[in-house]
Structure 1
Amino acid sequence: MNARERLETTCSRAWPPLVEEPLGEWCLRWADGFTGRANSALAVGDPGRPVGDALRAACDFAHDRGIAPMVQVVRDSPNEHAIATAGWVPATGHGAGHEVAVLTAPLGNRHFPVEVPPPGGRFPVRVPDEPVPGWWELVLRPGEDSPAARQVLAGGKIGYGIAEVDGRTAGVVRAALVDDWLHVGRLEVAPAFRRRGLASALMGAVGAWGAEHGADRAVLQVAEGNSGALALYAGLGYAPHHRYRYWVPAPGSCEDSTS
């Protein structure tokens, strides 16, 4: 695998599905429909068979578990070209956005401070090792709360960043440790507390937490269409690493061969 594909594997480990099966170096994933990352085939590296056969195996895996077949693949990679040649199409209907930017930043630089805001400061932020009810209330978006979602979000070594203002949950973020990487996701600030610098305070807090636990680099994944988030992360020192896209079979081209 190249550096882009290795980082995709790292990110996948930070966002663990409920079921995963290897397909050569590819990985088939299922999490009862919660997020595309946990319910798609990660098409990086060599699947150990022709790509057309690998895509048929991905279709069967998805059909057997009641989800729509989909693959996640590094943009402009040989695997993506092979998937397009096999007749699959970009998943433009994917609700969260079918093209995603992967951004990275070193921890501890001037843009991404490791100092936690002081307890008596304007935005006290803490990073407990266990999720609290207020964290779940904000990190789970409408219609997402399910046992599968909670298992994915709590899988691995996680820092549960939370900011509370006047007894209310004002913002949350999820930070997962994988080797020397800190994977940051699910940054959410309640509408009443936006545009006050709280997102940056949350990012600084989980950056400190990650550095304290041995991480020296941070990575996050954000939809290309999310201009506000892209601007925020650029201001914190994140730089583009690569992009990935979701692909789906053309209509009628992915029948369940096991039925």
Structure 2
Amino acid sequence: MNLSTDDLVEVLEATWPAAAQRRDGPFLLKLSPGGGKRVTAARLLGEAFQPADLDRAEAAMRDAGQPPLFQLAPGQAALDTALAAHGYAVVDETLFMTCDLAPLCDIDVPRLTAFDIWPPLAVQQELWAEAGIGPDRLAVMARCTEPHRSLMGRDRDRVAGAGFVACHKSVAMVHALETRPAFRGRGVATRMMGQAARWAATRGARHMALAVTKANTGARTFYRGLGMAERPGYTYRIGTQE
């Protein structure tokens, strides 16, 4: 599998889209009412920029009511240094994790334990809300124009997990995968990943991917157990809210 960080960022932006985005000089600005860092962080296209470009991007984000936030890819040391000098703090160092899709399709998913459906049911939305995934992130899912489905996991006759999967080109990416605490360790997330893979295979996907914060060691261990490998991702730097 030969997916670069740039490839995976493209999949991320296609499957978890901002409400609006525009190019401003060397920066891609993502503007969204909430929805999290993935849909509000500016991204440098290439390596070259001028101080005025940085100032203009920062002003545009503030004008949109967003804190100034930048997503840095590996190798963007000059931007990292400039943001640090402006007092931007590092937050949420993030990795990509990927694997071939076929092994995930072999996960045993007993009948009535995992589903892919659209639109998500109220019980899924309630579960997401318990995990801090509210209306703004549900709006991100709804505006995705790539093939997509919500995931629902059941255990002991109860809704135990929820997630979202979408496909871009040959890659399926999972977002917002959550299991209720009382059901963790019972294979709910594993079965949802298997269901996601089976659905993605019908859309022609050959790879599975997701983004996870470096600090989330529990999730990283889980995904490695499914055969997913860690790949370079990105880091956010956030400015002060004025």
Q: Is the aligned partner of 1:106 residue 2:100?
A: yes
Instruction: Give the letter for the 1:27 counterpart.
Output: L
| Deviations 1:99-142, CA, capped at 9 Å, x for gaps | 00111111012xx234561315xxx1010132111121122355
Does the residue aligned with 1:66 lie in a helix, a strand or coil? Answer: coil
Residue in 1 aligned with 2:115?
Answer: 126
Q: For structure 2, which runs of at least 5 residues remain unmatched after alignment?
A: none
- Offset, 1:14: 1.1
Contact 1:114/1:211, CA 8 A, preserved across alignment: no
Residue in 2 aligned with 1:28?
Answer: 29
Residue in 1 aligned with 2:78?
Answer: 81
How many aligned positions are there? 237
Specify whether residues 90 and 18 from structure 1 end up closer, same or farther in structure 2 by C-alpha distance, changes over 3 A only. same
Residue in 2 aligned with 1:117?
Answer: 109
| Deviations 1:25-65, CA, capped at 9 Å, x for gaps | 6421122232111111022435xx72423322221221111
Contact 1:29/1:38, CA 8 A, preserved across alignment: yes
Q: Is the aligned partner of 1:70 residue 2:60?
A: no
Residue in 2 aligned with 1:236?
Answer: 226
- Offset, 1:171: 0.6
- Which consecutive aligned stretches of 4+ in structure 1 deviate over 4 angstroms post-superposition? 141-144
C-alpha distance in structure 2 between counterparts of 1:114 and 1:154, whole Å: 29
- Offset, 1:19: 1.6
Does the residue aligned with 2:38 lie in a helix, a strand or coil? Answer: coil
Q: Is the aligned partner of 1:207 residue 2:197?
A: yes
Q: TM-score, normalised by structure 2?
A: 0.87
- Offset, 1:90: 5.5
C-alpha distance in structure 1 between counterparts of 2:52 and 2:111, whole Å: 56
C-alpha distance in structure 1 between counterparts of 2:52 and 2:99, whole Å: 37
Q: TM-score, normalised by structure 1?
A: 0.82
Contact 2:165/2:174, CA 8 A, preserved across alignment: yes
C-alpha distance in structure 2 between counterparts of 1:28 and 1:246, whole Å: 14
C-alpha distance in structure 2 between counterparts of 1:70 and 1:130, whole Å: 31
Contact 1:51/1:83, CA 8 A, preserved across alignment: no
Residue in 2 aligned with 1:3?
Answer: 4
Q: For structure 1, which runs of at least 5 residues remain unmatched after alignment?
A: none
Stretch of structure 1 that moved more, 130-139 or 62-71 = 130-139
What does residue range 1-259 of structure 1 map to in structure 2 within 5 Å? 3-23=4-24, 26-45=27-46, 50-75=49-74, 77=75, 79-85=76-82, 87-88=85-86, 91-92=89-90, 94=91, 98-109=92-103, 112-114=104-106, 117-119=109-111, 124-141=113-130, 144-146=133-135, 148-156=136-144, 157-249=147-239
Contact 1:26/1:41, CA 8 A, preserved across alignment: yes
Contact 1:5/1:44, CA 8 A, preserved across alignment: no
Q: What percent identity do the matched residue pairs reach? A: 25
Instruction: Give the letter for the 2:111 counterpart.
Output: P
Specify whether residues 13 and 89 from structure 1 end up closer, same or farther in structure 2 by C-alpha distance, changes over 3 A only. farther
C-alpha distance in structure 2 between counterparts of 1:139 and 1:116, whole Å: 25
Does the residue aligned with 2:118 lie in a helix, a strand or coil? Answer: coil
Specify whether residues 72 and 128 from structure 1 end up closer, same or farther in structure 2 by C-alpha distance, changes over 3 A only. same
Does the residue aligned with 1:108 lie in a helix, a strand or coil? Answer: helix
Specify whether residues 153 and 141 from structure 1 end up closer, same or farther in structure 2 by C-alpha distance, changes over 3 A only. farther
Does the residue aligned with 2:197 lie in a helix, a strand or coil? Answer: helix
- Offset, 1:233: 0.5
Contact 2:107/2:191, CA 8 A, preserved across alignment: no
Specify whether residues 73 and 63 from structure 1 end up closer, same or farther in structure 2 by C-alpha distance, changes over 3 A only. same
Does the residue aligned with 2:174 lie in a helix, a strand or coil? Answer: strand
Stretch of structure 1 that moved more, 136-145 or 219-228 = 136-145
